[in-house]
């Protein structure tokens, strides 16, 4: 079982870094992460758990 959460992926600018460091929004990995369709990936992932019984996947 997979339990869908309505929460959105945390952006790198909203993520609290230790020591107050911040990710550079011009970083190539930050830009690539913003291009990934996280909602589509999660929908495909949820299809792997069709059962509505049992313990939810974490």
Beta bridge pairs of residue 2: 57
Which residue would you say has higher pLDDT here, 21 or 48?
Answer: 48
30-48: pLDDT as tens digits: 889 889 888 888 888 888 8
Phi first, then psi: give them for residue 5, nearest 5 degrees: -110, 135
For residue 22, name the pLDDT band (cuts at 50, 70, 90): confident
- CA dist 9 and 36 (Å) reads 11
Share of the chain above pLDDT 70, in %: 69
Residue 17 pLDDT > 80, yes or no? no
């Amino acid at each position: 079982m997979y339990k869908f959460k309505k929460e959105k992926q945390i952006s790198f600018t909203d993520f609290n870094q230790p020591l107050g460091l911040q990710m550079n929004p011009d970083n190539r990995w930050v830009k690539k992460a913003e291009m990934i369709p996280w909602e589509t990936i999660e929908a495909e992932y949820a299809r792997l758990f069709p059962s509505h019984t049992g313990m939810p996947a974490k």
